[in-house]
Chains A and B, each alone.
Chain A
């Protein structure tokens, strides 16, 4: 993602507590179990099993998931548009090595 900062994205993920529902490989606690493990998110074809895994859609999804997938458990999160791009950039660093 151009002009997006994965490290800043990780800080946002920490601050708002995404790990309450998701497992991130580089966050030791919490390791939430309600949502999917995001350990290999960069290699996933779909976001939430429904939407193509594209940077623009991912940034929109992490900010307001119900707008893209009505009925999803994931809520809109209190982050800015810029922060949502950083979060998406961070998520694209997560792949199985």
Chain B
């Protein structure tokens, strides 16, 4: 409908759904936000035209019209009654809409928890009792047509969870647990961003929501729960050993291995992620090596140190091993 504005940064164009279109809702929660946005834009345009007309009358209008425009009646109607009615209606609309964004839409819901952390997203899939049964990072997989209730938390500073095509935006406040609901009505990849300045590389804190058709979602979940295969070749077996000996395992967890670090993103499924560095790079062998070797050049200030000390062969082995973690 509207021309897409391309970003100068370029590399993000390689990531599906980036930058996130703001007025192109793909589900009921985002739909209600978009409807309000369009109403505001239409209303603002109408008021702008009225003001222009009043200005024209004031400058060029007939004497009789100018007198009416400057009269007390015009002031009462245009200056008091009109704003009170319009702003009150908008306030009621906005507050109701905000409440509905965290209300269930009906039907069985799925539960997740997303923790905003400087400068990435810790993702937990929750069972019916609210216990996490699967960990991931920077990517949420959901089935279409189902409402997902997401607990939003933060251990450090205030972040804001925003997937414009699927819902409104809601802050993640340390010490609080906020609730947002999202839903996608068509399969696709939807980009999300941190919408509250959180220091340093805040602008490079993105993520993706991948919405699957129900059958695809079931297959995806089954694949995630399948037993994990051993490293497929010698290079990735060497990478597995390096992952522990080079210190990666101190911050990163890979389920089913001795690597159990909790400080950084869980890498159990990193090979199947569409992006690296929290929604900012395409995921392939080259970007993996670039990220491990010197992520500070890519995302300055992020908490992963550069590993320029590792020789090329070690970086290749680590990348091969991580690529196999699907």
Contacts and interface: CB of A to CB of B under 8 A. Distances in A.
B8 A77 contact: no
A71 to B, nearest CB: 6
Given A29-B9, A29-B10, A34-B308, A73 B284 contact: no
B98 interface: no
A75 interface: yes
Q: For chain A, give the interface size range.
A: 20 to 34
Interface stretch (A12-20, A51-59, A88-96): A12-20
Interface in A1-58: 14-21, 27-35
A17 B293 contact: no
Interface string A64-97: 0010000111111110000000000000000000
A77 B11 contact: no
Contacts of B291: 20
Contacts of A20: 11, 281, 286-287, 290-291, 298
B286 A19 contact: no
B298 A75 contact: no
B11 A14 contact: yes
A31 B8 contact: no
Nearest to A70: B313
A29 B281 CA distance: 11
Contacts, number: 88
Given A14-B10, A20-B298, A32-B294, A72 B312 contact: yes
Which of A20, A33, A34, A66 neighbours the largest number of chain B CB atoms within 10 Å of its CB? A20
Given A20-B298, A32-B294, A77 B9 contact: no
A14 B14 contact: yes
B40 interface: no
A73 B281 contact: no
A19 B11 contact: yes
Contacts of A34: 289-290, 293-294, 297, 308
B14 to A, nearest CB: 4
Contacts of A15: 13-14, 282
Given A20-B298, A32-B297, A34-B294, A74 B286 contact: yes
Contact of A32 (B8, B284, B298, B316): B298
Contacts of A77: 284-286
Contact of B286 (A21, A29, A71): A21
A73 B14 contact: no
A21 B290 contact: yes
B11 A73 contact: no
B254 to A, nearest CB: 20
A74 B296 CA distance: 18
Contacts of B9: 28-29
Contact of A29 (B11, B308, B315): B11
Contacts of A28: 8-10
B298 A14 contact: no
A77 to B, nearest CB: 5
B315 A73 contact: yes
B294 to A, nearest CB: 4
Interface in B267-292: 281-282, 284-287, 289-291
Which of B291, B296, B308, B319 neighbours the largest number of chain A CB atoms within 10 Å of its CB? B291
Nearest to A29: B9
Interface of A: 14-21, 27-35, 66, 71-78
Given A16-B14, A16-B282, 9 more contacts: A14-B13, A17-B14, A20-B298, A21-B294, A33-B294, A71-B313, A73-B315, A74-B289, A75-B319
Interface of B: 8-11, 13-14, 281-282, 284-287, 289-291, 293-294, 296-299, 308, 311-313, 315-316, 319
16 contacts: A14-B11, A17-B286, A17-B287, A20-B281, A21-B289, A27-B10, A28-B8, A29-B11, A32-B297, A34-B297, A35-B290, A66-B316, A71-B311, A73-B289, A74-B312, A77-B286
